[in-house]
Amino acid sequence: MAAFLQIPDNEKGHDLDLFCIPKHYEEDLDKVMIPHGLIMDRTERLARNIIKDMGGHHIVALCVLKGGYKFFADLLDYIKALNRNSDKSVPLTVDFIRLKSYCNDESTHCVKVIGGDELSSLSGKNVLIVEDIVETGRTMQTLLSLLSGYNPKMVKVVSLLVKRTSRSSGYRPDYIGFEIPDIFLVGYALDYNEYFRDLSHICILNENGKQKYKV
Ligand code: IMP
Ligand code: MG
């Protein structure tokens, strides 16, 4: 099973005052759950693990938009650093897909592909799907079954976060950054109705924030 950094259920997070938070979000957050530096350190190690397993072949990194874009960019930077600094290196190309399954702070049952590249270009390739968070697992399972129709040679999934929840379908990604309690988190490209992507740390949304940005 994939190794991960576990954030326990009783983790209260860190006071906002200890970190730099954009003024426009100060009233909307409860705590900092995962500081940006820790995200980066864990991502660096995920890059190493991925290259160890998938190295030697051309990799197509598939970014699941929009939530995955920060993690995708940082993970690829670490993979590029490994490519620059070792005897073996792997060619890397990028593709993008846009999915939507969330409204307010709840996963809906319907996962929609609402844009991105033509998936037929992935046929015969080694694909690394890069996702921000797996909750029920429905989004990833939908994407995986969609992809299998295009006959990629290999598909691996890396998700920065996996939520510990009874709503999980049991699906687990191949690589996991952190396993988190069953709470709604924002920041580092994770959004609440499109807000909070412009926040570096992963934080706990408070009631005020939920009301303010509700649709
Ligand atoms: P799933 O289909 O239930 O696994 O949900 C996956 C998608 O829901 C993710 O790609 C996110 O876009 C969104 N999501 C799930 N939990 C959270 C959260 O705590 N904050 C922000 N987005 C979330
Ligand atoms: Mg996502």
Tell me: pLDDT of 150 over 90. yes
Residue whose CA is closest, atom 9 of ligand 1? 133
User: SS3 breakdown of the chain: % helix, strand, coil, rounded to 5?
Assistant: 30, 35, 35
For position 110, what pLDDT does the model report?
73
More confident residue, 197 or 56: 197
Q: What is the mean pLDDT of the chain?
A: 93
- pTM attached to this predicted model: 0.94
The number of residues making up the chain comes to 215
Q: Is the peptide bond before 52 cis (omega within 30 degrees of 0)?
A: no
Sign of CA dihedral 156, 116, 70, 209: negative
Structure tokens at 56: 């030697």
Angle between helices 69-85 and 36-54 (to 10 degrees): 60
135 CA closest ligand 1 atom index: 4
d(C-alpha 18, C-alpha 112), whole Å = 39
Tell me: pLDDT of 103 over 70. no
131 CA closest ligand 1 atom index: 10
Among 100-114, 127-141, 161-175, 192-206, which stretch is predicted with the lowest mean pLDDT?
100-114
d(C-alpha 101, C-alpha 138), whole Å = 9
Stretch 10-23: mean pLDDT, rounded?
Answer: 97
Residue 183, φ and ψ in degrees, nearest 5: -135, 160
171 CA closest ligand 1 atom index: 4
Stretch 73-89: mean pLDDT, rounded?
Answer: 93
- pLDDT band, very low/low/confident/very high, at 2 (cuts 50, 70, 90): confident
For position 108, what pLDDT does the model report?
67
Best of 190, 196, 204 for a ligand 1 pocket test (most atoms within 8 Å of beta carbon): 190
Stretch 58-64: mean pLDDT, rounded?
Answer: 95
- pLDDT band, very low/low/confident/very high, at 114 (cuts 50, 70, 90): confident
Among 30-34, 45-49, 111-115, 188-192, which stretch is predicted with the lowest mean pLDDT?
111-115
Residue whose CA is closest, atom 16 of ligand 1? 135
129 CB within 6 A, ligand 1: no
d(C-alpha 117, C-alpha 120), whole Å = 9
For position 192, what pLDDT does the model report?
95
102 CB within 6 A, ligand 1: yes
d(C-alpha 133, C-alpha 167), whole Å = 14
Ligand 2 ion: Cβ-proximal residues, 5 Å cutoff: 67, 132
195 CB within 6 A, ligand 1: no
Residue whose CA is closest, atom 13 of ligand 1? 102
For position 22, what pLDDT does the model report?
97
